[in-house]
Amino acid sequence: MQILKMLTQLEKLETNMAGLYEWFSHVFREDEAAAAFFYGVSVEEEVHANIVRYQRRLVSQNIKNFSEVDFDLTPIEKTLSDIAAIRKTEILPSLEEALRYAIELEHSIAEEHYRTILKKANPEIEGLLKSLGAFDLRHLHSFQEFVEKRGGSHVPFSSRQNTAEIRRSSGPPGEEREEESAGTDKELLEKIDYLHTWYRSMDYYKFFDIREHATGQQIRHAYSRIAKEYHPDMHFNMSEDIKQKLTDIFAYAVDAYATLSSPQRRQLYDAERSSPRRH
């Protein structure tokens, strides 16, 4: 059915965006701030791919409960082609070019979600599309903030268009969904409550459940694991209280990753941990 094809392409799109940003993190690995920034966004894109994957499974298991949808896949296919072209280029992009690519891609994706929402062709997936549109808009702002922090100010004109409309149309992710589904995993809620109670007392290594001499790859994997389980975007249909706890937890994860992924910051952090003043 067309709805399954659409969800499959959306999942592929989010996965490819994650792959592109992870590739950028390797391209700019000598620039700690840029590498950490791109890797962080890549993890979020993978989280979004998981959200779409979950929705696709629900549809495939209950296909009779979902109406058909009229969806033009051409824009998504074009974006996938653009991503592939960027990664196949013989000359690696500069940081400025990579940021421009990212802003243009995120904006085109946000606009497509926006247009899809306006069609209101299928109420069952409207909440998902609205959330993805809001996520894209947030990434646009993140890229713009990073550009400004690096002393830049130029943003492609297209990225300034329709952001207000997208924001109004997208609204808070899942605003029309139930605050918390009856099938919410009780064990997950208990884990969220437990971690939110104790995370401030954990050092970054304990929080990530890794050894003090963990490698960069082990740190990235730990961060990715935390994101896939506790990222607020993964649980946008939960209550505001739970989403705030998840936001607190993930903010700590971001700080932990930013510190441990930087050799200089990690060295200072380790020195502070071993200081007698902490005992």
Closest CA to 36 of 138, 146, 139: 146
Residue 24, domain member (yes or no):
yes
Amino acid 276: pLDDT? 65
Distance (Å) of CA 32 to CA 120, 138, 216, 264: 43, 22, 12, 10
Per-residue model confidence (pLDDT) at position 122: 63
Q: Which pair of tokens denotes residue 42?
A: 């890549």
Q: For residue 165, is pLDDT > 70?
A: no
The whole-angstrom separation of Cα 40 and Cα 142 is 11
Q: Per the domain annotation, does 93 fall within a domain?
A: yes
Is residue 101 located within the same domain as residue 11?
A: yes
pLDDT for 114: 62
Of 170, 203, 238, the last residue of a domain is: 170
Same domain for 155 and 80, yes or no, is yes
Share of the chain above pLDDT 90, in %: 30
Cβ(185)–Cβ(242) under 8 Å?
Answer: no
Q: What pLDDT is attached to residue 124?
A: 65
Both tokens of residue 113?
Answer: 């979600």
Q: How confident is the model at residue 160 (pLDDT cuts 50, 70, 90)?
A: very low
251 and 114 share one domain: no
Region 155-173: what's the mean pLDDT? 41
Same domain flag for 143 and 25: yes
**Do 246 and 123 sit in the same domain of this protein?**
no
Domain membership flag for residue 253: yes
Q: Residue 43: pLDDT above 60?
A: yes
What is the domain-level CATH number for residue 273?
Answer: 1.10.287.110
Q: Which residue has the higher pLDDT, 256 or 3?
A: 256
Residue 175 domain-assigned (yes or no): no
Q: Is residue 177 situated within a structural domain?
A: no
DSSP three-state, residue 65: helix
pLDDT of residue 218: 92
pLDDT, mean of residues 159-178: 40
Same domain? 125 vs 203: no
Do residues 101 and 236 share a domain? no
Residue 256 and residue 145 share a domain: no
Q: Which of 125, 145, 170 is the last residue of a domain?
A: 170
Among 248, 51, 195, smallest CA distance to 136 is for 51
First vs last Cα of the chain: how many Å apart?
62
Residues 6 and 63 in one domain: yes
Place 138 in a pLDDT band, splitting at 50, 70 and 90: confident
12/52 Cα distance (integer angstroms): 9
In a domain? residue 176: no
Query: Which is higher by pLDDT, 238 or 259?
Result: 259
Q: Is residue 181 part of a domain?
A: no
pLDDT interval class at 82 (50, 70, 90): very high
Range of the domain at 70: 2-170
Tokens at 86, concatenated: 């960027």
Percentage with pLDDT > 70 across the chain: 81
Alpha helices in the chain (DSSP H): 2-27, 32-61, 74-88, 95-119, 123-149, 163-170, 186-198, 204-208, 216-230, 240-260, 263-273
Assigned token pair, 136: 């894209």
| Domain termination site, one of 170, 199, 234 | 170
76 and 196: one domain? no
Instruction: Return the residue matching tokens 């592939």.
Output: 84
Higher pLDDT, 97 or 274: 97
What is the pLDDT at residue 20? 96
> Are 199 and 161 part of one and the same domain?
no
Identify the CATH number of the domain in which residue 109 sits.
1.20.1260.10
What are the tokens at 277?
Answer: 């003043």
Residue 235 lies in a domain: yes
Same domain? For 219 and 264 the reply is yes
What digits encode the pLDDT tens for the residues 172-230? 444 433 444 444 578 888 888 988 998 889 999 999 999 999 998 899 889 988 888 88
**Structural domain total, the chain:** 2
The encoded tokens of residue 82 equal 């653009």
